[in-house]
Structure 1
Amino acid sequence: MRFALDESHEDFASSIDALLTKSDMPAVIRAWNTGDTAAGTAVWQRLADTGVNGLLVPEEHDGLGADAVDLVVALEQLGRHAVPGPVVETVAVAPLLLAAVAPDRLGALAGGSLATVAFAPHAPYAVDTGVADLVLHVADGTVSVGTVGRVRESVDRSRRLSEVSPSETLGTTDTAAAFDVGVLASAAQLQGLGRTLLDTTVEYAQQRKQFGKAIGSFQAIKHHCAEVAVGLEMARPLLHGAAIAVRDGLPTASRDVSAAKVACGDAAYRAARTALQVHGAIGYTQEYDLSLWITKVRALVTAWGTPDVHRARVVDALEKAEIAGVAS
C-alpha cells in the first residue's frame, strides 16, 4: 500500500495553505469567538470557491466527487490554520448523509452553505448552529433536520455546542460510513493542528534566549520537540492508510480510522503540552495566538468519539480478526 501523496495532492494542499495564510486566521478566529462571524464566513466562501466544501459532493450536484485521501489533504490544512466553524460536519459528514437521504440539498453545500450535525451517541452536540444553513440530527440510522436547543460552551471559544432534537425526518440509511468519515476528518484536523504547534514551538525556541543562549540549543528542549515530531510523523501513515481504507471500502476501514484518530489525537495533544511547556504561561493566555491552537486540540481530542471509544473499537476489531483467523 502506497501512503505518499502525489503532486496533485501537494498542489491542492499548497493552494489551501496560501489562501488561509493570506486570511489572517488569528484575527478571524478572535472575531468568531466574540460572535462576529463575518470574516470567518468569508473565508468559508473562499474555501468553497476552491472546491473544499464540495470535495465529497458528487459532480452531478456541482461538487468535485473527490475521495477520502483528498479529504484528508484538505482537512489537515484547515487544521493547520485552526479554521473555525463546523469543519468536519460541512466538508465530510453532511455530504455523505445528504447523498443518501436528500441529494437535492447537496448543491447548496458545494456552493458554500455550512452544515452541522448532531450524531448520537459519540457526537451528540452540533457545532456552531448559529452559522449553519442546515442542522442535521442523526440517531439509529434516521437522518432528520434538527431543531436547536440549549447552547453549551467549549474549552475552544470558537466552538459553540448545541443540543439538537429531530424535527423533519429526511430518511433512514446506514450511517456508519458517515461516522467513520467524520472520525477520519477529525483526525486530519488534529494532525494539522499538531504540525502548527510544533512549528511554532521550534521557531520560538530558536528565538527565546536564556543565559545568553537560545533555549532551542538546550538538550531538554530538543528532546521534547523531537518526541513531538516523531509522534506526528508516526501518526501520518496511519491517517493516510485510513483514508485509503475508506476510499477503497476495505473491511478494516472502521478500525483504521479509529487508530488514526487515537494516534493523531495523542500526537497533537503532546504537541500542545510541549508548546505550553516551552512557551511558559504566556502560551495559554488569550492574547497569544498559540492559545487558539492549544484549546482547539483539547476540544477535538474528544470530538467524534473519545480516545477510549476509539481504542475500544481497535481492540474489538483485532480480537474479531484473531477469532476469525483461529476459526479458519
Structure 2
Amino acid sequence: MHFAFTPEQEQFRDAVRRFLRDRSPPAEVRRLMDDERGHDPGVWRQMCQELGLGALHVPEGRGGQGFSVTELGIAFEEMGRALLCAPYLSSVLATTAIAEACGADEAEQIVSGIAVGEQLAALALTEANGRWDAGGVELIADGDRLSGSKTHVIDGHVAYLLIVAARALGSTGEEGISLYLVAADAPGITRRSLTTLDPTRKLARIDFANVEARCISSDAAPALRRTLDIACVAVACELVGVAEALLESAVDYAKLRMQFGRAVGSFQAIKHKCADLLLEVELAKSAARYAAEAATEGDPDLPALASLAKATASDAAMRAARECIQIHGGIGFTWDNDTHLWFKRAKSGEALFGTPAWHRERLMQCWEV
C-alpha cells in the first residue's frame, strides 16, 4: 500500500486549509453554534461548487466527484482542525448509503443534487437503543409506510431529504433491512433539534407516523455496513485534525505562559506531556490514513482497520483535549478560551458510530482474537 500523499493530494489539502482558514475562524464557529441551522448555507454551497467537496468520494457514474476515501480523509482532517460547522458528515453518510445501496442511474439522480449543494440529505439510522449498526434498526416499514422514531440524526433538523433505514415486519437481525427515501416535509414527520454537549454539530430526533416513503433498496444491510466503515474513517480523520489543533495550541501557549520567571514550556513535565501527546497523535494519524487507503483500495480488512482508526483517534483527541486544558491552566476551561470547543467536538466524535470500547470489541471479532 502506497502511504505517502501525491503532490495533487497535498495541493488539495492546501486548498481546503486556505478555504477553511477564511470561512471557519473561531469567531464564525461561535456564531454558528448559536445559529438554529448550525451552518452558513452560502459557505456550504461554496464548498460544494467551488471546492467540489460534495459527494467527493462517490464515483462520477453515481453522481459524485469521483475521488477516493483518501481525499475524503484529507478534507475531514482539515475540517477537524478548523472545527468546521457544516452539514458535511451528514452528506457523506447519505451519499455513501445511496451510492452503495442503489443502482447507478438511481444513485446519480439522487446524489447529483446533494453534490452541488442544492439539497441537504441526512441518514436516519440510529434509534433509542443507541446502536449504529443495521441490526439495531427497529423502525417498521409496512409496505411503503414508515412508523417509528430516529434519534441523533446528524443535521436532521435542516435536511431536505431523509434516507431512512427501516425493518420489515417480523424480521430480525440484519435481515429485512431496507432504505427509504423520504421528503423531510412529508405528512406525518415531526422533527426537533436535540440539546447536546457539542453545539458545533447539530443532532435531531425525527418521528414517523405512517409516513409514505419510496424504497430505494430492499437489502440494505451490506450498504449500511460499508457506510459505517466509511463514517468511522471520516470521523477518525476529523479527530486527528482536532488533536493536531489542540496540540499546536498547547505548545504555542506553553511558549508564552510565564511561571517563576520562565516559560512553562521549558519545564520538563510540560515537555514530556507535549512529546507524549505528539507520539499519540502521530499514531492516530497513521491509523486513520491507513484505514482511508484501505477503503480506497477495497481492502477486505476495512471493518477492522476502520474500528482501529476510530478507537485510536478518539483516544488521541480526548487526551489532547485534556492535556491542552491543563497546559493552559485556569484559562483553559473558561468560555472565552476556544479550547473547550475542540474538547466538545472530540467528545462527540468519540461517541459517534460507537465508542472506543465498542470498536476494540469489533476489532477483536474481525480478527478473531
* Structure 1 residues 38 and 223: CA distance shift in structure 2, 3 A: closer
Q: Shift in Å at residue 211 of structure 1?
A: 1.1
CA deviation vs aligned residue, 1:175-204 (integer Å, no higher than 9, x gap): 211111111111111011110011111111
**Using the alignment, how far apart are the partners of 1:65 and 1:200 within structure 2?**
35
TM-score by length of 2: 0.81
- Bigger mean CA deviation after superposition, 254-263 or 52-61: 52-61
Alignment partner of 2:40: what SS?
helix
Deviation at 1:37, TM superposition (A): 4.5
CA–CA separation in structure 1 for the residues paired with 2:316 and 2:120: 29
CA separation of 1:201 and 1:73: change in aligned 2, threshold 3 A: same
Work out whether residues 321 and 339 of structure 2, in 8 Å CA contact, stay in contact via their aligned partners in 1. Answer: no
Deviates further, 41-50 or 158-167: 158-167
2:320 equivalent to 1:314: no
Report the AA paired with residue 79 of structure 1.
G
Q: Which amino acid aligns with 1:88?
A: L
Q: Is the 8 A contact 1:28 1:40 kept in 2?
A: no
Asked if residue 110 in structure 1 is aligned to residue 152 in structure 2, the reply is no
Provide the residue aligned with 2:216 in structure 1. 171
Selected match of 2:165 from 125, 133, 138: 138
Contact 1:28/1:39, CA 8 A, preserved across alignment? no
1:267 partnered with 2:308: no
Q: 1:153 aligns with which of 187, 190, 195?
A: 195
1:264, CA displacement in angstroms? 0.7
The residue aligned with 2:240 is 191
**CA 1:39 to 1:178, structure 2 compared with 1: closer, same or farther past 3 Å?**
closer
Q: Could you say which residue in structure 1 is the equivalent of 2:255?
A: 206
| Shift in Å, 1:304 | 1.3
Alignment-mate amino acid for residue 163 of structure 1:
R
- TM-score (structure 1 length as normaliser): 0.90
> Equivalent residue of 1:295, what SS?
helix
Query: What secondary structure does 2:200 align onto?
Result: coil
Contact in 1 for aligned 2:38/2:201 (Cα 8 Å): no
**Corresponding residue number in structure 2 for 1:162:** 204
1:294 to 327, 332, 343: 343
Question: Following the alignment from structure 1 to structure 2, what is the Cα–Cα distance between the partners of residues 297 and 38?
Answer: 18
Q: Structure 1 residue 44 and structure 2 residue 44: aligned? A: yes
1:244 is aligned to 2:293: yes
Matches within 5 A, 1:56-135: 56-60=57-61, 63-90=64-91, 92-99=92-99, 100-101=101-102, 102-103=106-107, 104-112=109-117, 113-120=119-126, 121-122=131-132, 124-135=151-162
8 Å Cα contact 1:126/1:135 also seen in 2: no
In the TM superposition, what is the alpha-carbon distance from 1:206 to its structure 2 partner? Answer: 0.7
- Matches of 1:14 and 1:50, distance apart in 2: 11
- Range that drifts further, 129-138 or 196-205: 129-138
Q: Which residue of 1 aligns with 2:5?
A: 5
Secondary structure at the aligned position of 1:251 is classed as coil
Contact in 2 for aligned 1:198/1:271 (Cα 8 Å): yes
- Partner-residue secondary structure (3-state), 1:116: strand
* Correspondence for 1:326: none
Larger radius of gyration: 2
Contact persistence 2:68–2:296 (CA under 8 A): yes
State how 1:3-42 maps to structure 2 within 5 Å: 3-35=3-35, 37=37, 40-42=40-42
Q: Is the 8 A contact 1:142 1:169 kept in 2?
A: no
Question: What CA distance in whole angstroms lies between the structure 1 residues aligned with 2:80 and 2:245?
Answer: 8
Task: Kindly tell me the number of residue pairs found equivalent between the two proteins.
Answer: 319
Give the match for residue 325 of structure 1.
none
Shift of 1:35: 1.8
In structure 2, relative to structure 1, the CA distance for the partners of 1:148 and 1:311 (3 Å cut) is: farther
* Rounded Cα–Cα distance in structure 2 between residues aligned with 1:55 and 1:34: 28
Asked if 2 retains the 8 angstrom alpha-carbon contact of 1:238 and 1:256, the reply is yes
Moved more, 7-16 or 59-68: 59-68
Q: Deviations over 1:133-161 (max 9, x none)?
A: 32322245322236454432111122332
Deviation at 1:165, TM superposition (A): 4.3
CA 1:246–1:287 in structure 2 vs 1: closer, same or farther (change >3 Å)?
same
Residues 318 and 346 in structure 2, CA contact (< 8 A), matched pair in contact too: yes
Deviations 1:256-294 (A, max 9, x none): 000000111111111000111111242232222222111
- Taking the aligned partners of 1:314 and 1:295, their CA distance within structure 2 comes to 26
Contact 2:81 2:242 in 1 (8 A): yes
Task: Report the counterpart of residue 138 of structure 2 in structure 1.
Answer: none
Structure 2 unmatched runs, 5+: 134-150, 167-173
Higher helix share: 1
CA offset at residue 82 of structure 1? 0.8
Structure 1 distance, partners of 2:17, 2:202, is: 25
**AA in 2 matched with 1:143:** L
State the match for 2:170 in structure 1.
Answer: none
Q: Whole-Å Cα distance in 2 between the matches of residues 287 and 230 of structure 1? A: 29
Residue 331 of structure 2: which of 276, 279, 282 is its match?
A: 282
- 1:47-75, Cα deviation, whole Å (9 max, x unpaired): 11201113023324553111111111111
